[in-house]
Amino acid sequence: MGVGDHGFTGKQNMYDASMRAPLIVTGPNMKKDFQIDEFVSLQDIVPTSLEIAGAPKPDYVDFHSLLPMAAGQANQSAYDAVYVAYMDTQRMIINEKYKMIIYPVANVVRLYDIQNDPWETNDLASDTDYKQVMDELFLEFRKLQKDVSDPMDVTTFYENFFAN
C-alpha cells in the first residue's frame, strides 16, 4: 500500500493508500463475516482494549471503543470528520464527502471530493467554486485541531495560500 501512490514511496502521507489500512477485530460477541466502512482512529484501539479488559476508560482518553460497531450494535462512526497530523509537515481533515490536506512547509493545500474521486486524482483546491467548501472544512479542522491540542497554527498559511 502506498508504494508510488501520488508519487510517494512511503506511507507517511495523507492519501487513502496510506490512510485507509484495514482494521480487523475478532473475539467473543463479534459478528462473523461483518464488514463496515466507517471512520475510526488508531487511537480508538486504546478505549477498545480497555473495554475488552473490563477496565474503566480514564477521563483523559478522548477516543471511542470500537466494540459496538464490531459487534454490529452500531452502524455509524462516532466521528463526522477525522483530523490527522503528521510531524510538522502535514495536516488533514476528512469527512464523508471531502478530504483537505495541508502541507504548510511545502506551501500547498489539496482538496478532493472523495465520493466522486475516490482515487484522489482531481485536486479542487484552486477551483474558486470550492472555496466555501474549503473554508467550512477549515473551520471544522481548527475545531478538531484544538480538541487534540495540536499547537501548530496553520491559519495564516491557509489564508495566505488563497491570497496568492
Same domain as 142, residue 69: no
DSSP state of 163: H
Same domain as 116, residue 71: no
For 79-117, the pLDDT digits (tens) are 788 888 888 888 999 998 999 999 888 888 999 999 999
Same domain as 84, residue 54: no
Same domain as 66, residue 100: no
pLDDT at position 43: 82
Residue 17 has pLDDT above 80, yes or no: no
Cβ pair 11, 1 in contact under 8 A: yes
For 33-56, the pLDDT digits (tens) are 777 777 777 788 898 889 888 899
In this prediction the pTM is 0.78
Residues 6+ apart with CB under 8 A from 116: none
Range of the domain at 84: 80-163
Same domain as 30, residue 6: yes
